[in-house]
Structure 1
Amino acid sequence: MIRRCVVVGGAGAVGRLFAERLLAGGARVAVADTVEPGAEPAGTHYVRGDITSLGARLEADLGHADLVVLAVPDAVALAAVPGLAAVLRPDALLVDTLSVKQPVTAAVRAHAPDVQAVGLNPMFAPDLGFEGRPVAAVVVNDGPQVGGLLDLVAGWGARVVPMDAAEHDRLAAVSQALTHAAVLGFGLALNRLGPDLARIREIAPPPHQALLALLARISSGAPAVYRDVQAANPEAAAVRKELAEGVRLLTDLVEHGSEAEFATVLGQLRDGLGEHAPHYRDLCARMFTSL
Structure 2
Amino acid sequence: MNAAAGPVVVAGGAGAVGRMLVEAFRRDGTAVVVIDPAAGDDPAALRGDVTAPTAAMRDAVRVAPAVVLALPETTALAAAAPLGALLSPAAVLVETLSVKSAWARAVREPGWSAQCVGLNPMFAPALGMAGRPVAVVEHRPGPAVESLVGALGRWGAQVVRLTADEHDRVAAATQAATHAAVLAFGLALGRLDVSPSVAGATAPPPHVLLRALLARITAGAPEVYLDVQAGNPHAAAARAALRASLDELDAVVGAGSVAGFADLLARAGTPLGADADRYRELCAGLFAELTHEETESRHGRA
Q: Same fold (TM over 0.5)?
A: yes
Aligned pairs for 1:191-202 (under 5 A) are: 191-202=190-201
* Structure 1 residue 91 displacement after superposition: 2.1
Does 2:38 correspond to 1:32? no
AA partner of residue 130 (structure 2): E
AA partner of residue 24 (structure 1): R
Give the corresponding residue for 1:267: 266
Give the corresponding residue for 2:16: 13
Q: Secondary structure at the match of 1:240?
A: helix
* Structure 1 residue 35 displacement after superposition: 2.6
* Structure 1 residue 106 displacement after superposition: 2.2
For 2:44 and 2:185, how far apart are their aligned partners in 1? Answer: 43
Give the corresponding residue for 1:80: 79
Aligned pairs for 1:201-240 (under 5 A) are: 201-240=200-239
Contact 2:85 2:112 in 1 (8 A): no
RMSD of aligned C-alpha atoms? Answer: 1.7
For 1:52 and 1:32, how far apart are their aligned partners in 2? Answer: 11
* Structure 1 residue 240 displacement after superposition: 0.6
AA partner of residue 195 (structure 1): V
Q: Note the alpha carbon deviations across 1:85-130, whole angstroms, 9 max, x for none.
A: 2222332211111111121122223214521111111111111111
Q: Note the alpha carbon deviations across 1:174-194, whole angstroms, 9 max, x for none.
A: 111111111111112222333
Q: Secondary structure at the match of 2:83?
A: helix
Aligned pairs for 1:177-188 (under 5 A) are: 177-188=176-187
Aligned pairs for 1:48-59 (under 5 A) are: 48-59=47-58
Q: Note the alpha carbon deviations across 1:37-81, whole angstroms, 9 max, x for none.
A: 4x75xxx62211222222233222222321111111122212221
Contact 1:177 1:236 in 2 (8 A): yes
Contact 1:66 1:93 in 2 (8 A): yes
For 1:191 and 1:22, how far apart are their aligned partners in 2? Answer: 44
Contact 2:87 2:113 in 1 (8 A): no
Contact 2:77 2:103 in 1 (8 A): yes
AA partner of residue 284 (structure 2): A
Give the corresponding residue for 1:148: 147
Gaps of 5+ in 2: 291-302
Cα 1:204–1:106 shift into 2, 3 Å: same
Q: Note the alpha carbon deviations across 1:200-220, whole angstroms, 9 max, x for none.
A: 111111111111111111111
* Structure 1 residue 229 displacement after superposition: 0.9
Contact 2:115 2:141 in 1 (8 A): yes
Give the corresponding residue for 2:278: 279
* Structure 1 residue 31 displacement after superposition: 1.5
Q: Secondary structure at the match of 2:32?
A: strand
Contact 1:94 1:118 in 2 (8 A): yes
Contact 2:39 2:45 in 1 (8 A): yes
Provide TM-score, normalisation by structure 2.
0.90
For 1:264 and 1:229, how far apart are their aligned partners in 2? Answer: 32
For 2:46 and 2:132, how far apart are their aligned partners in 1? Answer: 30
Contact 1:114 1:141 in 2 (8 A): no
Contact 2:85 2:113 in 1 (8 A): no
Q: Matched residue pairs, number?
A: 287
For 2:231 and 2:110, how far apart are their aligned partners in 1? Answer: 20
Does 2:22 correspond to 1:23? no
Cα 1:264–1:191 shift into 2, 3 Å: same
Q: Secondary structure at the match of 2:18?
A: helix
AA partner of residue 165 (structure 2): A
Give the corresponding residue for 1:166: 165
AA partner of residue 275 (structure 2): H
For 1:271 and 1:146, how far apart are their aligned partners in 2? Answer: 36
Contact 1:132 1:157 in 2 (8 A): yes
For 1:61 and 1:272, how far apart are their aligned partners in 2? Answer: 47
AA partner of residue 167 (structure 2): H
Gaps of 5+ in 1: none
For 1:281 and 1:113, how far apart are their aligned partners in 2? Answer: 49
Cα 1:192–1:59 shift into 2, 3 Å: farther
